Amino acid sequence: MEVIEIDKPIVLRKTLIKTNYFRFRCHIPILKYKVNVEPTIPSNQVGLFFKILNQIRPDLDKILGTYQPLPFVIYSPNQCDETVFVRDYENVSYSIKIEPLGILDLSQEDKEGLGFMGRFFKILQSSLRLKQIGRRYFNPENPTEFPQWKLSIWPGFMTSLTQHQRHILINIDTSCKVVRETTIYEYIENLMSKYKGDQDKIKDELIGISVMTRYNSLY
């Protein structure tokens, strides 16, 4: 067996690693409120719940200010006491009780905290007024143009949230959207020339493609 002798002590050094994961920190406590509605609304009728909740929106604005409603629960950085409202909707009288449940613990590895932060982050992204396509967001106002090929590239990104060691992390990946500047009429003309008027081959090329339109106001 070979023996290796070390004359100098081993020095451990920290290594800095750059990554596209960023820690999401919330510096204010988020309070949780349960929303009880009588008569009871089935869990599969979430749309009805939000329509009824919308009846007390002016009151919620006064007592909570900033808040985020989710099915049968409300999150807010502001505190209020238990409150009951009575409203009529479609000839039915509903009693809506807002009941404090304490502080939402975002350090726990559960779906509730991650779901709230995901919803909150989505609202923040919508405020950027970017073009959302699927899960990606693009900026059509700052494209890179290639006029010689009739192409335009929109810069963008895609995000996702995950939880690691009691921390919520945001993953941000860059993305881009390639937009052809040719019209659908020009595209069909090129296909007619390419396939010598073969209707079946032209139809196969057209099915499933996306066509973007521009809105031009007449006023």
118-147 pLDDT, tens digit per residue, is: 888 888 888 888 998 888 999 999 999 998
pLDDT band at residue 215 under the 50/70/90 scheme:
low
Mean pLDDT confidence for 93-108: 89
In a domain, 184, yes or no: yes
* Residues sharing a CB contact under 8 Å with residue 28, sequence separation 6 or more, in sequence order: 77
Domain tally, the chain = 2
In a domain, 61, yes or no: yes
Runs of H (alpha helix) within the chain: 46-55, 57-63, 111-126, 184-194, 199-206
In a domain, 92, yes or no: yes
The residue length of the chain stands at 219
**Last-in-domain residue among 53, 68, 103:** 103
Q: Do 135 and 169 reside in the same domain of the chain?
A: yes
* Residues sharing a CB contact under 8 Å with residue 74, sequence separation 6 or more, in sequence order: 32, 33, 35, 60, 64, 67, 68, 98
Q: Do 139 and 68 reside in the same domain of the chain?
A: no
Specify the CATH number for the domain of residue 62: 3.30.70
Whether this model's pTM surpasses 0.75 = no
Domain that holds residue 170: 129-210
CA 158, CA 123: separation in Å to the nearest integer?
Answer: 14
Q: Do 94 and 167 reside in the same domain of the chain?
A: no
- Tokens at 20, concatenated: 């596209």
In a domain, 147, yes or no: yes
Model pLDDT, residue 218: 46
pLDDT band at residue 219 under the 50/70/90 scheme:
very low
- Tokens at 108, concatenated: 């726990």
The DSSP symbol for 54 reads H
Contact 138, 155 (CB under 8 A): yes
pLDDT one-digit tens code per residue, 54-65: 999 999 999 999
